[in-house]
Amino acid sequence: MTDLILLQLGWLAVGLTAAVLIQIAGLSLISRLVARLSARPEGMAQTWQITIMGLVVYLLFVLHLVQIAVYAAIYVVTGAIDSVHTALYFSAATFTTIGGGVVQTEEPWQFFASLEGLSGIIMVGWSISFLVAVTNRLGMWTQKASRN
């Protein structure tokens, strides 16, 4: 039993490391993109700010899809879930903490699945704080924003 827990913790280290690296790289690229798109000397129209925010939300969604795919790959590689489609569904439900209900991992891998949920909470929370920072940087809904 202890060996199985250690194995799951090892795979968690792989998944979590990948998720953190994806998050860091993605947020760095998105931050650079926002800096370029928001570099308008006369100030930004609110429509342009909202467009930038929409793009940021879309890119954060893609980041989380990649993180979900990493965890799904771990389920398939370890044999915890046989089908790629099922692993993606289960991983998405677990990462977002919605819960699968219909799909379950093999009993020994349920501990790993619960830790994926914790990882997802942290990654999504990190993305939300980034989104708030972008909103502040753009000066949305404040006196700094241009209202044209």
- Asked if residues 19 and 119 have their Cβ atoms less than 8 Å apart, the reply is yes
Taking only the tens place, the pLDDT of each residue in 127-138 is: 999 999 998 888
pLDDT band at 72; cut points 50, 70, 90? very high
SS3 44: coil
Residue 92 lies in a domain: yes
Gap between the Cα atoms of 81 and 84, Å rounded: 8
pLDDT band at 148; cut points 50, 70, 90? very low
Residue 29 lies in a domain: yes
What is the number of domains present in the chain? Answer: 1
Residue-range definition of the domain harbouring residue 33:
2-138
pTM: 0.86
Residue 51 lies in a domain: yes
Residue 20 lies in a domain: yes
Q: What is the mean pLDDT of residues 112-125?
A: 93
pLDDT above 90: residue 143: no
Q: What is the mean pLDDT of residues 66-75?
A: 97
Residue 143 lies in a domain: no
Which pLDDT belongs to residue 109?
Answer: 85
Burial (CB count <10 Å: 0-12, 13-18, 19+), residue 46: middle
